[in-house]
Amino acid sequence: MNILLTGASRGLGLKIAEHLLSSGHTVYGVSRSKSDQLNALQEAYPDQLQFAAYDLTDASNIKTALFDELIGSDIPLHGFVNNAAMAYDDIITNLKVEPLQEMYQVNVISPFMIVRNVIRHALLHRNPCSIVHVSSISVHTGYKGLAMYASTKGALEAFSKNTAREWGSRGVRSNAIVAGFMETDMSSTLSAEQKERIYRRTALKEATRPESVAEMAAFLLSDKAASVTGQNLFVDSGTI
């Protein structure tokens, strides 16, 4: 399969890239920077990994940069993993417009524009295609300081369900993985005590493993998930 993956440079995205590459798939990876780890993957899979540096705060050049230049119109695309995101966290009374807009641009508007082009691409090639959004448990549980961030993920979940409904008859599936807290850069500002409190709210009493989320992403992308669409799949250590 040919898979477009955003946020490939670090954290969960890197794990998903690794998983897909080692299973023999081609990954079109996107992030602002190319990390050492991604460079290492590039060396290990020189023919399977194509990378484009792109800043998703810019939604206007997505078609040109990602679809015309990175993927090219001749190559069919079988899946898209919307993984890149940023977290602007603060309590609501401190809310500022600029960081809020930037976060919506990266987490919501650019992903929507990518989906637009993914579906158009699939229509052209007439191939089934699977879209996987990485959402967050914060949508469903609520955490202090995460209202703005969680709202971007809620938008993705709604968009995903409606994508599934609108385009299912054309072989497009769309699902969201509701990920629990993972030990990545994104959560690195939390103190050990804060993390402990979050993990205590889970059945497994531990952080969500990126490998487990990557496994779910690979499943949703594959034909094994042919009848799964419009769903939110919780991979969250059983958050309660």
Ligand X SMILES: NC(=O)c1ccc[n+]([C@@H]2O[C@H](COP(=O)([O-])OP(=O)(O)OC[C@H]3O[C@@H](n4cnc5c(N)ncnc54)[C@H](OP(=O)(O)O)[C@@H]3O)[C@@H](O)[C@H]2O)c1
Q: With beta carbons less than 8 A apart as the criterion, state whether 108 and 152 touch.
A: yes
Distance CA 222, CA 218 (A): 6
User: Binding of another protein at residue 190 (CB under 8 A)?
Assistant: no
Per partner kind, with CB cut-offs from 5 to 8 A, the member of another protein, ligand X, none near residue 127 is: none
- Residue 167, contacted partner among another protein, ligand X, none, CB below 5-8 A by kind: another protein
169 lines the binding site for another protein (CB under 8 A): yes
**Cα 56 from Cα 99, distance rounded (Å):** 14
170 belongs to the binding site for another protein (CB under 8 A): yes
CB of 125 to another protein, least distance (A): 10
* 124 interacts with another protein by CB under 8 A: yes
DSSP state of 29: E
Stretch that binds another protein, among 21-29, 122-130, 151-159, 204-212 (CB under 8 A): 122-130
From the list ligand X, another protein, none, pick the one residue 73 interacts with, judged by a Cβ distance below 5 to 8 Å according to partner type: another protein
Using rule CB under 6 A, residue 85 touches ligand X: yes
Task: Compute the distance between CA of residue 171 and CA of residue 103 in angstroms, rounded to an integer.
Answer: 30
**Cα separation values, 92 from 31, 59, 103, 227, Å:** 29, 26, 15, 39
- Binding-residue total with another protein (CB under 8 A): 11
Under 8 Å between Cβ of 151 and 236: no
H helices of 58-181, where?
62, 97-104, 110-125, 138-141, 147-167
* Among 44-52, 117-125, 140-148, 230-238, the segment contacting another protein (CB under 8 A): 117-125
106 binds ligand X (CB under 6 A): yes
- Minimum CB separation of residue 166 from another protein in Å reads 8
Which H/E stretch holds residue 135? strand 129-136
Which residues in this chain contact another protein in the complex, by CB under 8 A?
A: 73, 119-121, 123-124, 126, 166-167, 169-170
